[in-house]
Amino acid sequence: MPTALWMQCGACGGDTMSFLGMGAPHLPDFLKELNLTLWHPSLNRWEHGAYAQLLADLRYRSRSLDILLVEGFILDQSGESGGFDTLQGEPKAAILRQLASWAGAVIAVGTCACFGGIGKLGAVQATGLQYHHRRPGGLLGEQFRSQRGWPVINLPGCPVHPTVLQDTLCAVCENRLPALNNHQAPEDWFGILVHQGCTRNEYHEYRVEDSDFGGPGCMFFHMGCRGPLTYAPCNKVLWNGRNSKTNAGVPCFGCTHPDFPQEHPFFHTPNIVDVPLELPDGVDRAHYLAYKGMAAAAAPDRLVKRKSRV
């Protein structure tokens, strides 16, 4: 029976909430199907001292650990104490290093655990498991490999989508490493842009833009939508099987990106003379501007009129 330990570090608990809210199958059935023993702070009731004993068993290798899941950024204070986030007086950074060296696979759950995420807004030094934002390294270092010879599997998102976690756990329990992209996130889920599959694509194409929430138009030029820059499955696998931010008329704010959160305010597109500073990933500025000018002039009436009716 495979075993997994879920550790929470600098986390809001959002990834746990997402995980607990898994749809079909529900979490208890899913764990049964995988035959997975999962130790999780929100799922287990610990008798006094039992958690400390479990941790000691795992750290000193008297129990096997197939999967280590980490939620939240790690307060490392490189070379210093790491003492802002401790467990029974010991920095979690030290405990994680030890557990990771012994685990079959290590999974970073959520953007904070992957890249440091929200941790960069704080006064203390926070990092991800194997990345510090877009720079490889993080707590475990670029060369880290788990017992199975795998790098950390990054599942970014604020929070991670439960289907992504579910699918990755299935693969890992079958001893399969999913194909990873250049930030070590599964290609199947993070190989496409939020923009691909957005219901507003035709508006983007003709530059029919919104400047307020809830309209039908594209939100790239005025409302800070980062869909064309963000690799994530939000429009491939909808939340609660129903919706995504962009479907609902709220701009994507790029929560799976290694640099999340961005420096400038959400819902605002930094621009020069109405041209966004950041263009869709891989797009050449000169060609994009020429194309957008022509596309706006060619916008069909049905799009322009639909937008003006809202």
Q: Is 131 helix (H, G, I), strand (E, B) or coil?
A: strand
Residue 176's SS3 state is coil
Angle at 222 between CA 221 and CA 225, to 5 degrees: 70
222: contact with ligand SF4 by CB under 6 A: no
Binder among 40, 120, 183, 204 for ligand SF4 (CB under 6 A)? 204
Among 31, 194, 229, 303, interactor with ligand SF4 by CB under 6 A: 194
Cβ distance to ligand SF4 smaller for residue 64 or 201: 201
Candidates 52-60, 78-86, 173-181, 222-230 — which segment interacts with ligand SF4 by CB under 6 A? Answer: 222-230
CB nearer ligand SF4, residue 17 or residue 283: 283
Question: What is the smallest separation between the CB atom of 200 and ligand SF4, expressed in angstroms?
Answer: 4
- Which residue number, 16 or 246, has a Cβ lying nearer to ligand SF4? 246
Q: How many residues contact ligand SF4, by CB under 6 A?
A: 14
When CB distances to ligand SF4 are compared, the closest residue is: 227
Question: If we measure between CA atoms, which residue out of 126, 130, 106 comes closest to residue 118?
Answer: 126
**Residue with smaller CB distance to ligand SF4, 76 or 209:** 209
Q: How far apart are CA 202 and CA 217, in angstroms?
A: 9
Q: Note the helical H segments in 132-227.
A: 162-173, 187-190, 201-205
Least Å distance, CB 218 to ligand SF4, is 3
Shortest gap between Cβ of 11 and ligand SF4 (angstroms)?
A: 27
Q: For residue 191, which amino acid is it?
A: G
Rounded distance between C-alpha atoms, residue 38 and residue 188, angstroms: 25
CB 128 within 8 A of CB 138: yes
Tokens of 274: 């109405």
Q: Between residues 128 and 224, which has the closer beta carbon with respect to ligand SF4?
A: 224
Question: Which residues, 233 to 262, sit near ligand SF4 by CB under 6 A?
Answer: 246, 252
Among 218, 229, 255, 303, binds ligand SF4 (CB under 6 A): 218
| Distance of closest approach, residue 58 Cβ to ligand SF4, in angstroms | 42
Rule CB under 6 A: is residue 40 a binding residue for ligand SF4? Answer: no
Compose the 42-61 pattern: x for residues touching ligand SF4 by CB under 6 A, - for all others: --------------------
- Say if residues 49 and 190 touch (Cβ distance below 8 Å): no
Using CB under 6 A, pick the residue from 198, 208, 229, 303 that binds ligand SF4: 198
Is residue 219 at the binding interface for ligand SF4, with CB under 6 A as the rule? yes
Token output for 273: 């003379």
User: Could you check whether the bond before residue 25 is cis, i.e. omega within 30 degrees of 0?
Assistant: yes
| DSSP per position, 242-290 | TB-HHHHT-----TTSTTPSPSSPTT---EETTEESSPSTT--HHHHHH
Sole window of 106-114, 165-173, 220-228, 256-264 interacting with ligand SF4 (rule: CB under 6 A): 220-228
**Residue in 22, 142, 132, 24 with CA at minimum distance from that of residue 75:** 132
Residue ranges binding ligand SF4 (CB under 6 A): 194-195, 198, 200-201, 204, 218-220, 225, 227-228, 246, 252
